[in-house]
Chains A and B, each alone.
Chain A
Amino acid sequence: MLRYALKRLGLGIIIVSVAMVMLFAMIYVIPGDPASVALGPRATPEMVQALRSRMGLDQPIWIQFFRFYFSALRGDLGTEVLSGRPVLDVVFEQLPYTLALIAGAISWSVLLGIPLGCIAAVRRGGFVDRVIGVLSVAVIAVPSFVIAIYSLLIFAVALQWLPAIGAGEPGNLASQLKHLALPSLAIGVGWVGYIARMVRASMLETLEASHIRTARAFGLTDRRITYSYALRIAILPTVTLLGVGIGNMVSSAVFAEIVFARPGIGKLVYEAISVRNYPVVTGAVLVTTAFFVVVNALADILIGALDPRVRTSFD
């Protein structure tokens, strides 16, 4: 098990490194000199030169890359071009908002998706099953940013049930949750569909398993078998599904943060790009990518611990 975990983590580190090379290459070939862009048209050549050497832009490309790589490993993602604040601080300041958003989305999808999947599996082939099936496909198909804008229009603007803008008063949990409800639902609603389908399928498979037949032979009630024996196994694939889905949710979070004017990583990158604040862009993209890779690895390791068959297939 330990060997599997180490291998999986090693793969994660390699992937992040390759991603860093690509990110560096992308930023490097961007037309326009970051230093002169940052200083604006009225900067003197001396000022541009000074900033260039402060940013290390006058060094050969491979030195720039290794400097970028090893300082990133130490957690130093550079400083913001104008304010001079460390990029890592700026990113970590915004990260909790995005994590809260994603946690909210996962809660919605699990709380709604698992029961719906169970009901569909129990009523297999019936009317309820068909309705849940069609709805699941529908919410997966419609892009989350359209759902975000429509839910903003319906629940915040027209009905005024929930607030439309911001993340709520700091320290006031009730207000923060209220502000979280709509954006996290917009991100999570597609995942309700994925999870419902997944739970239904694995539930149907589990109900055929021999230990369930044994339980039935012992005369346990259907309800008991479904919800305490079968469900426990049937929700395992959900962990992998959510692990893979994190990257997707980060994408949706960018839109949700912009639509609901919430602070967060997505809004940070979006705004940094419009003012060409490159260190913030690379830093934020790198942190999210690393986060995504780590979550994926953890989900794999968790599944490996729960289901030994996965471990051997990795070799």
Chain B
Amino acid sequence: MSEQALIERQPRERIGKAGRVLRRILREPLGAFGLTLVVIVVLSALFADVLTSYPPTKLAPAERFAPASLQHLLGTDHLGRDLFSRVLHGGRIALAIALGATGLSLIGGIVLGLIAGYGPRWLDNLMLLLFDAIKSFPTVMLALTLVTLTGPSLLAVLIVVVLVNVPGYARIIRTQTLVLKSAEHVMAARSMGASTARILTVHILPNVIGPILILASMDIPVVVAIEAGLSFLGLGVRPPLPSWGAILNDGFVNIRDSYWIVVAGGLPIILTTLGFTFLGETLRDVFDPRLKRRE
């Protein structure tokens, strides 16, 4: 490794790089828009308690079905709960699940992908078959069957997301590991007696992890959609916990008389998925233009 490359590894330089990436994102109108939306969604979830004085689960039968007003910015639902507060607190659940489930899927995908790519041929084939079989269930069908098994809960949502995402990630890691398996630096490490664990973590993992991180960041809106969808069907977050999907379901039942409940439940889902998608697309173009051409 040349001296120049070593210097570039310094932390201060990395901050500089983060700044450069940020500047490039902001230069793209779409990236700036996406980043703004994401920041708004994240901040409003973090400061939910400061931004609204209504507790998200407090019932107020006297104020049922109130349209949007200055007291209730998004109106109230069929139990008189303040929708603005429920939307903000629902954001916490949505983001926590999106990040947690994506993280777990990443870990699972990386481990299984490394095993499939580096392990024996028969194991590779078996795992590919399993991945294909899992992928062959339509997501919602898989979710419906699983939830029958576990009952509706946050855990069920988490399992569904991980099951849906892991095969895709593992496949990508596997393909790249297969290529690297016979690369010169891996051969060299092996001939010097490096253990399999060391080869995988030190010589292969750093080289295969980049693209999958970008893909995972683009999957965040998909996870948000899965959580909201399952909660809409009553298979995800349990009442009275606030979830955007659950708000949509409350509103769907009363769509003819109280349109604002549906609007309040749908808007945050639209803004969040749009924000993360626009940001993800821009990030991908900045980091790895090659990924773009593959679509």
Tell whether, in the assembled complex, residue B138 and residue A153 are in contact, meaning their CB atoms are under 8 Å apart. no
A145-B229 in contact given A18-B129, A150-B266, A289-B141 (Cβ < 8 Å): yes
Is A53 an interface position by the 8 A CB rule?
Answer: no
Instruction: Tell me the count of chain A residues lying within 8 A, CB to CB, of chain B.
Output: 51
Tell whether, in the assembled complex, residue B139 and residue A26 are in contact, meaning their CB atoms are under 8 Å apart. no
Question: Would you list which residues of chain A between 128 and 159 have a CB under 8 Å from chain B?
Answer: 134, 137-138, 140-143, 145-146, 149-150, 152-153, 157-158
Q: Which of B81-89, B114-122, B255-263 contacts A (4 or more CB under 8 A)?
A: B255-263
Tell whether, in the assembled complex, residue B138 and residue A288 are in contact, meaning their CB atoms are under 8 Å apart. yes
Is A201 an interface position by the 8 A CB rule?
Answer: yes
Mostly, the A contact residues are helix
Is B221 an interface position by the 8 A CB rule?
Answer: yes
Q: Which of B45-53, B146-154, B188-196 contacts A (4 or more CB under 8 A)?
A: B146-154
Is A292 an interface position by the 8 A CB rule?
Answer: yes
Is B277 an interface position by the 8 A CB rule?
Answer: yes
Q: Per a CB cutoff under 8 Å, which of B129, B144, B251, B276 touches A14?
A: B129
A285-B295 in contact given A152-B255, A259-B252 (Cβ < 8 Å): no
In whole angstroms, what is the CA distance A198 to B14 when docked? 35
Q: A81 to nearest B CB, angstroms?
A: 14
Which residues of chain A have C-beta atoms less than 8 A from B256's C-beta? 157
In whole angstroms, what is the CA distance A288 to B145 when docked? 13
In whole angstroms, what is the CA distance A276 to B140 when docked? 17
Instruction: Tell me the count of chain B residues lying within 8 A, CB to CB, of chain A.
Output: 44
Q: B160 to nearest A CB, angstroms?
A: 11
Tell whether, in the assembled complex, residue B149 and residue A15 are in contact, meaning their CB atoms are under 8 Å apart. no
Q: Per a CB cutoff under 8 Å, which of A27, A150, A273 touches B147?
A: A273
Which residues of chain B have C-beta atoms less than 8 A from A22's C-beta? 133-134
Q: Per-residue CB proximity of A16-42 to B under 8 Å, as 1/0?
A: 101100110011011000000000000
Q: Per a CB cutoff under 8 Å, which of A15, A137, A158, A201 touches B136?
A: A15
Which residues of chain A have C-beta atoms less than 8 A from B138's C-beta? 247-248, 250-251, 254, 288-289, 292
Tell whether, in the assembled complex, residue B149 and residue A30 are in contact, meaning their CB atoms are under 8 Å apart. yes
Known: A134-B30, A250-B140, A255-B233. 11 other contacts (CB 8 A): A30-B148, A137-B30, A138-B274, A141-B221, A141-B278, A153-B259, A251-B140, A270-B144, A288-B138, A292-B136, A296-B136
